[in-house]
A and B are shown apart, each in its own frame.
Chain A
């Protein structure tokens, strides 16, 4: 059953905070409503749940991939074509250290960026109820995406706690 979503636009942070607490009182789960702001606020400004990020394991994971790729490239190429150059050993360590270092960092950056996109659940095709003024003018949006029958109750709560305007939208 597709979710519909309703958006309430607030001017003041305290009003948005009260809307969230009243929604929570009306037994809407935390993952059903969301605050949308144009700029980053300190966490918990609206009393919303603290998002737990596990961003730290991505670089280590990427570093391991990068190290193995570098190992394959350097050791593989030098052993595949054991040509002596300049009297240097075929498996000469210092140049290999350079390639290890570069590849480890390259893959850890790539995996970290994908991790960041994954952590912020970004490629979101259907934006649901959304208003331009959140980003451009600094309004605060509270969007509730629930099955259709609970939408009017949510809209009524938003209006009561001082939303300037409400809007319906289609969730995924």
Chain B
């Protein structure tokens, strides 16, 4: 399965630290254009801050709009980063080596993008720290709120969960990064960069004790981060599942449904990132078609389980045969603006990508995987949109209060801001630290064995 060619250590070091030593030709132009998009988004946000939430498309009764959809979408993307790297580390799969750090960095920046969405969504963002369980004493600029947050509200669980997730991702990425910082410290010429890298590397020398810690610590941390990942998206789904007044929200399958959706959209995000890295940094020797093949098979399984959860949610929404629920589902399927979105969502979320992934040639071709996974993420953004907004338009008995929602320019600008922010963040990270861990690839070279049975060569690996 693996057509593999042995590389020397210096060759690996050369290839993987090249982007860190000097920036690639395209680097500043790409980061510049992304920076421009971010500027446009931020100016929209300042306009919203100045004149109030009226500028967004939010109205009564659709009080949540594109920002919350974007928040759930980015939390979804962030999950697969940790899930892919944690599960691959726990099962010690051989093809984990090139993609674990890329996935974790994607997690890091999409989490920050998700948190920034909460800042856009809230009516008084300068008071947002009241949600966190900080003590209600006088903190510098603001009068003491005099009360603790309400622990029974899902919006207090959210910052606790996402904060835990963000902090543990940062610590996780840093512990696994120390050997590579030591490598860059040795590679880079003397100067301010060398001082910073040697401070960050904490004097890592590569003794057997330090390598054994680098072996066991990630496994221990992934075993701890996996439950965090499961709980964060369950809590995000409880933001919607606990409310009884909105049709289509109050169903118990929301926690697993959101998590499978997060894995589906997140793993596709990781595949898009991998294909992007492969194309941008010319890493053909490290990211092989087999990696795409293996992830493609995993995606087919995850997509079918997600579709089963979607089917369950729809069946049990119609099961009690209550009028508001049927009116909502009818609206989603037959009323013009929502029915087009629904069809696009079904096609891009499940049928086109999974249909394509059944063929081995598609799975092994990075370009095809790049486009199918982008389709998946478009579909998943629409899925969250179709969960939040049609439900809120309240097809209930009080028929005078039915509402609709169209995103305004400010919202579109800020959604674009988050996408640009994440891509730019990953590229800047790749510029400062090596995105594919060189020591992992070198370890792969040393552990590599070939078992020759008659004419067939089978790749083997050392298991401790």
Contact = CB atoms under 8 A, between A and B. Distances in A.
Interface of A: 34-43, 48, 51, 53, 55-56, 59, 73-74, 76-78, 80-81, 83, 85-86, 88, 92, 95-96, 98-99, 101-103, 105-106, 108-110, 112-113, 116-117, 119-127, 130, 132, 134-138, 141
A59 B225 CA distance: 12
A122 B443 contact: no
Given A36-B206, A38-B183, A102 B13 contact: no
A128 to B, nearest CB: 8
Interface string B152-167: 1100010011011001
Given A55-B220, A112-B224, A105 B168 contact: yes
Interface of B: 8-10, 13, 133, 147-153, 157, 160-161, 163-164, 167-168, 171-172, 174-175, 178, 182-183, 186-187, 202-217, 220-221, 224-225, 227-228, 231, 235, 439, 442-443, 446-447, 462, 464
B209 A135 contact: no
5 contacts: A36-B207, A38-B183, A74-B151, A92-B152, A98-B161
Contacts, number: 181
Q: Is the interface of A mostly helix, strand, loop or mixed?
A: mixed
Given A102-B164, A113-B221, A116-B213, A135 B157 contact: no
Given A39-B439, A106-B164, A110-B171, A136 B186 contact: yes
Nearest to B207: A34
Nearest to B174: A113
A98 B231 contact: yes
A147 B300 CA distance: 62
B210 A120 contact: yes
Contacts of A110: 167-168, 171
A51 B208 contact: yes
A150 to B, nearest CB: 20
Contact of A39 (B8, B212, B225, B442): B442
A40 B443 contact: yes
A104 to B, nearest CB: 9
A100 to B, nearest CB: 11
Contacts of A35: 207-208
A78 B151 contact: yes
A141 B208 CA distance: 12
Contacts of B206: 36-38, 134-135, 141
Contacts of A42: 447, 462, 464
A29 to B, nearest CB: 15
Contacts of B205: 34, 36, 124, 127, 130
B144 to A, nearest CB: 14
B152 A85 contact: yes
Contacts of A99: 151, 157, 160
Contacts of A40: 211-212, 214-215, 439, 443
Nearest to B231: A101
A108 B217 CA distance: 13
Nearest to A136: B13
Contacts of A76: 148
Contacts of B150: 83, 85
Contacts of B446: 39, 41
A124 B178 CA distance: 13
Which 3 pairs, one residue from A and one from B, show the smallest C-beta to C-beta distance?
Answer: A138-B9, A124-B203, A77-B148
Contacts of A125: 203
A55 to B, nearest CB: 5
A137 B172 CA distance: 27
A39 to B, nearest CB: 4
